[in-house]
């Protein structure tokens, strides 16, 4: 048998997912027996006898269509697909050719892949004069290096690798999570999770944007429960929705009902919303400005009237 | 304002005043998984008021997949006067189009016009914040678990605009596992018939709430199934037009 030769494990880091798909690539798939691949969080030295020959984690290599590779040098890289890797982890990928009890291990042994965690900004804190903003965030792993960016523009900064040989983020990203800001101005913050995967390409994933005004902020009231740790039962960022009214009735075939909501209801203002039950293709709830018209233009025989209900919500309490 | 307090948040919206209404949780539970042909339900107790709402989230989801909520609320009074209120809900997930997965639910009610009996006997007593109206009824309390709304959306559904889009992104890695959505009217959106019923020539579309766990976001999603081979102009094309409101929040 001839040993397989891998040219690396490739993942698409720049996604929001909690895990990423892994392509285990081969420039030469070897020959004889069956090409098998193995994923593990554990490093096994060459010739250690591990992972065990009969470990059920060994699986036959297959491309996206489920086909086994051709033997030998590949004119186009062969990718085994099917592995996924959680963010914030280092995983090892092993390959071999196996025929009955004969085994030929692949090189490199193993291939490593590190996938960065996606950081989330929990808040921004300030010095006494609100002239220095400190971004609060963390990740729970040891493989992700965090970089920080602040701007008065809400345009997302560039962060992805521009070449496979890039070994650090562009210089717009800072290792310092504190920024000089102008009190009263709006700022937008991002955190970049980066992994140094040498010799493979580095990993990069950007956080969601966090917007904050440099100042006291967090105006409002926060109430906690007595749980351990305390849970927030009312927060300043909660959206205060009012279930303003509920109307109900029944309609026979082709019946209509008109509701005057009152209270300044205006569906065109963007501050109000309505919802209708039950789910019925023929139950219509149409609203213009301050009224709701419910109708039931159902074709065919309608043995029972529909018993409807309209909920009216005030979405923004000015 | 004549009574109590008024609190505005960073966005300039009223957080609390005498007319504020939080959402108080009346009950929580789980609607069991179902087979491919039925959707399970929770019966609303007859003692509950008329203006309850129901919210739901996937029960013990596989976060490598997305989950889509089928939910409908039914309030029927039969000819003998018996009233039956049910909240139907189950989840389709991954590539499975049938709603078979269990749902965690909460029955909530706007927190207003309550008297002190709502919060009497609490342990610990009078914990949290209560805001009273001038008539001594409660307009707001944090003594009971609440539904904390994080996002809301309103859309006028038409035949050409279902409103299907991503409209909420999780604020941290586990956020979507805690998010409940208003579970009253996620279901049939459009039905096209191309041939005789027995030939099963149809396209059925549903407007669903989607927990997109892999991408850590929530979307309104159109899921379509069809029967047999379809061609030509549909004999019937019905769609559920009108206004819909969607809410997302936490039960705390």
Contacts of B252 in chain A (CB under 8 A): 225, 231-233
Q: Which residue has the tokens 């960016």?
A: A149
Query: How close A291 comes to chain B (CA, Å)?
Result: 12
Residues of A in Cβ contact (< 8 Å) with B238: 281-282
Using CB atoms within 10 A of its CB, is residue A113 exposed (0-12), middle (13-18) or buried (19+)?
A: buried
* B213–A120 C-beta distance less than 8 A: no
Residue B11: predicted pLDDT:
63
Mean pLDDT over all residues of chain B?
84
pLDDT given for residue A123 in this prediction: 86
Residues of A in contact with B127 (CB under 8 A): 225-226
pLDDT one-digit tens code per residue, A17-59? 788 999 999 999 999 999 999 999 999 998 888 899 889 999 9
Contact of B147 with B107, CB cutoff 8 Å: no
Tell me the C-alpha distance between B153 and B176, whole Å.
Answer: 17
Q: How confident is the model at residue B13 (pLDDT cuts 50, 70, 90)?
A: low
Q: What b/e string do you get for A91-107 counting C-beta neighbours within 10 Å, with b at 16 or more?
A: bbbbbbbbeeeeebebe
Name the residue of chain A whose CA is nearest to B123's CA: A226
In the listed set A93, A115, A137, which residue is the last one of a domain according to the structure? A115
Mean per-residue pLDDT, B83-111 = 93
R_g over Cα of chain A: 29
Q: Do A223 and B187 touch (CB under 8 A)?
A: no
User: Chain A closest CA to B229's CA: distance in Å?
Assistant: 23
User: pLDDT at residue B247 above 80?
Assistant: yes
User: A11-25, A64-78, B227-241: lowest mean pLDDT where?
Assistant: B227-241
B118 pLDDT band (50/70/90 cuts)?
low
Angstroms from B213 CA to nearest CA on chain A:
8
Residue span of the structural domain in which A199 resides: 121-213
Q: Which residues contact A283 (CB under 8 A, 6 or more apart)?
A: A251, A276, A294, A295, A296, A306, A308, B240, B242
Q: Do residues A94 and A129 both lie within one domain?
A: no
pLDDT at B214 over 70: yes
Model pLDDT, residue A309: 94
pLDDT at A165: 81
More confident residue, B128 or B29: B29
Q: Which residue did the predictor score with more confidence, B172 or A3?
A: A3
- Among A90, A115, A140, identify where a domain stops: A115
A:B CB pairs within 8 Å: 194
- Give the per-residue pLDDT at B127: 58
> What CA–CA distance (Å, rounded) separates B220 from B149?
17
Q: Look up the pTM and report it.
A: 0.71
pLDDT at A160: 85
User: How far does A128 lie from chain B, in Å, by closest CA?
Assistant: 19
Identity of the residue in B13, B127, B150 whose CB atom sits nearest the CB atom of A316? B13
Q: Give the model's pLDDT for residue B1.
A: 44
Residue A100 and residue A137 in one domain: no
The answer to which of A231-240, B161-170, B209-218 has the lowest mean pLDDT is A231-240
Of the partner residues A84, A218, A280, the one whose CB lies closest to the CB of residue B10: A218
- Chain B positions in Cβ-Cβ contact with residue A213 (cut-off 8 Å): 10
Task: Tell me the pLDDT tens digit for each residue of A76-120.
Answer: 999 999 899 999 999 999 999 999 889 999 999 999 999 999 999
DSSP state at residue B101: B
Provide, as residue numbers in chain A, all residues whose Cβ is less than 8 Å from the Cβ of B186.
279
Per CB-CB distance under 8 Å, the chain B contacts of A241 are 21, 23, 149, 152, 247
Beta-sheet strands, E only, within chain B: 7-8, 14-16, 22-31, 41-43, 52-58, 66-77, 83-93, 103-111, 130-132, 138-141, 147-157, 165-169, 180-182, 185-193, 202-212, 217-227, 236-239, 242-251
Q: Which two tokens stand for residue A267?
A: 């569906």
The least confident of A139-143, B37-41, B102-106, B173-177 is B173-177
Instruction: Measure Cα distances from A293 to A99, A267, B194 in Å.
Output: 73, 12, 31
Which stretch of A65-74, B130-139, B144-153, B218-227 has the lowest confidence by average pLDDT?
Answer: B130-139
Instruction: Identify the DSSP state of B9.
Output: -
**Boundary of a domain, candidates A59, A92, A115:** A115
Task: Give me the sign of the Cα torsion angle A79, A85, A88, A90.
Answer: negative
Specify whether A82 is located in the same domain as A105: yes
- The answer as to whether A222 is a domain residue is no
With respect to residue A228, please indicate whether it lies within any of the assigned structural domains: no
| Residue A229 placed within a domain | no
DSSP A296: -
The predicted pLDDT at position B165 comes to 95
Answer whether residue A230 is part of any domain: no
Per the CB < 8 A criterion, the answer to whether A284 and A214 are in contact is no
Q: Chain A within 8 Å of B87 (Cβ-Cβ)?
A: no
Predicted confidence at residue B139, as pLDDT, reads 66
Mean per-residue pLDDT over chain A, rounded:
89
Give A-chain residues touching B50 at CB under 8 angstroms. Answer: 246, 248
Q: How far apart are the first and last CA of chain B?
A: 29
Instruction: Give per-residue pLDDT as tens, A254-300.
Output: 999 999 998 889 888 888 999 999 999 999 998 887 899 999 998 88
| Domains: count for chain A | 3
Question: What CATH number is attached to the domain comprising A77?
Answer: 2.60.40
Q: How does pLDDT run across A134-184, given as a tens digit for each residue? A: 999 988 899 999 999 999 998 899 998 888 788 889 999 999 999 999 887
Same domain, A44 and A101: yes
Residue matched to tokens 């929001």: A16
pLDDT (0 to 100) of residue A161? 83
Task: Confirm whether A219 is domain-assigned.
Answer: no
The residue of chain A nearest to residue B192, with distances taken between CA atoms, is A281
Same domain for A175 and A249, yes or no, is no
Cα–Cα dist A100/A92, whole Å = 24
The answer, yes or no, to whether residue A217 has pLDDT greater than 60, is: no
Chain A touched by B127 (CB under 8 Å): yes
Q: Distances in Å between the alpha carbon of A231 and those of A263, A264, B56, B99, B148?
A: 34, 35, 20, 32, 12
Whether the pLDDT of residue B5 is over 90: the answer is no
Q: Where along chain B do its domains lie?
A: 1-185+242-252
In a domain, A258, yes or no: yes
């Amino acid at each position: 048998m001839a040993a397989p030769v891998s040219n690396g494990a490739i993942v698409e880091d720049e996604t929001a997912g909690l895990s990423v798909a892994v392509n285990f690539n081969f420039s030469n798939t070897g020959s004889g027996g069956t090409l098998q691949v193995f994923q593990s969080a554990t490093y096994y030295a060459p010739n250690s006898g591990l992972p065990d020959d009969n470990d059920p984690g060994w699986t036959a290599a297959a491309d996206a269509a489920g086909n086994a590779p051709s033997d030998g040098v590949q004119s186009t890289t062969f990718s085994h697909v099917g592995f996924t890797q959680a963010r914030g982890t280092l995983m090892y990928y092993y390959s071999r050719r196996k025929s009955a009890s004969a085994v030929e291990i692949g090189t490199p042994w193993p291939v490593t892949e590190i996938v960065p965690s996606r950081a989330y900004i929990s808040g921004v804190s300030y010095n006494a004069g609100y002239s220095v903003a400190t971004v609060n965030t963390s990740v729970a792993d040891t493989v992700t290096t965090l970089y920080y960016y602040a701007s008065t523009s809400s345009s997302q900064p560039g962060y992805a690798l521009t070449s496979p040989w890039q070994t650090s983020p562009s210089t717009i990203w800072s290792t310092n999570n504190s920024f000089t800001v102008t009190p009263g101005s709006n700022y937008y913050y991002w955190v970049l999770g980066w992994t140094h995967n040498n010799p493979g390409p580095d990993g990069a994933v950007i956080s969601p944007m966090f917007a904050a005004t440099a100042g006291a902020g967090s105006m409002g009231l926060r109430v906690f429960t007595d749980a351990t740790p305390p849970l927030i039962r009312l927060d300043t960022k909660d959206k205060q929705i009012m279930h303003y009214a509920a109307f109900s009735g029944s309609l026979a075939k082709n019946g209509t009902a008109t509701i005057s909501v009152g209270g300044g209801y205006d569906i065109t203002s963007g501050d109000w919303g309505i919802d209708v039950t039950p789910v019925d293709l023929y139950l219509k709830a149409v609203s213009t400005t301050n009224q709701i018209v419910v109708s039931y233009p159902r074709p065919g025989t309608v043995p029972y009237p529909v018993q409807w209900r309209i909920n009216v919500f005030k979405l923004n309490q000015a | 304002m004549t009574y109590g307090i008024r609190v505005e948040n960073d966005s300039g919206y009223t957080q609390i005043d005498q007319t504020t209404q939080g959402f108080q949780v009346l009950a929580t539970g789980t609607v069991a998984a179902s087979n491919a042909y039925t959707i399970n339900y929770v019966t609303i107790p007859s003692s509950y008021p008329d203006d309850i709402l129901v919210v739901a989230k996937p029960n013990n989801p596989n976060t490598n997949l997305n989950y889509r909520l089928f939910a409908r609320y039914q309030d029927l009074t039969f000819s003998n006067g018996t009233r039956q209120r049910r909240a139907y809900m189950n989840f389709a997930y991954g590539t499975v189009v049938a709603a078979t997965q269990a749902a965690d639910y909460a029955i909530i009610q706007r927190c207003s016009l309550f008297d002190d009996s709502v919060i009497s006997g609490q342990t610990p007593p009078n914990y949290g914040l209560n805001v009273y109206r001038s008539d001594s009824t409660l307009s707001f309390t944090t003594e009971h678990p609440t539904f904390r709304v994080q996002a809301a959306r309103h859309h006028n559904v038409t035949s050409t605009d279902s409103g299907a889009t991503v409209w909420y992104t999780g604020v941290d890695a586990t956020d979507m596992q805690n998010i409940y959505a208003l579970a009253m009217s996620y279901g049939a959106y459009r039905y096209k018939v191309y041939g005789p019923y027995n030939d099963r020539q149809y396209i059925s579309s549903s407007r669903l709430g989607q927990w997109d766990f892999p991408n850590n976001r929530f979307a309104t999603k159109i899921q379509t199934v069809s029967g047999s081979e379809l061609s030509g102009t549909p004999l019937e094309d019905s769609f559920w037009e009108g206004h819909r409101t969607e809410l997302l929040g936490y039960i705390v």
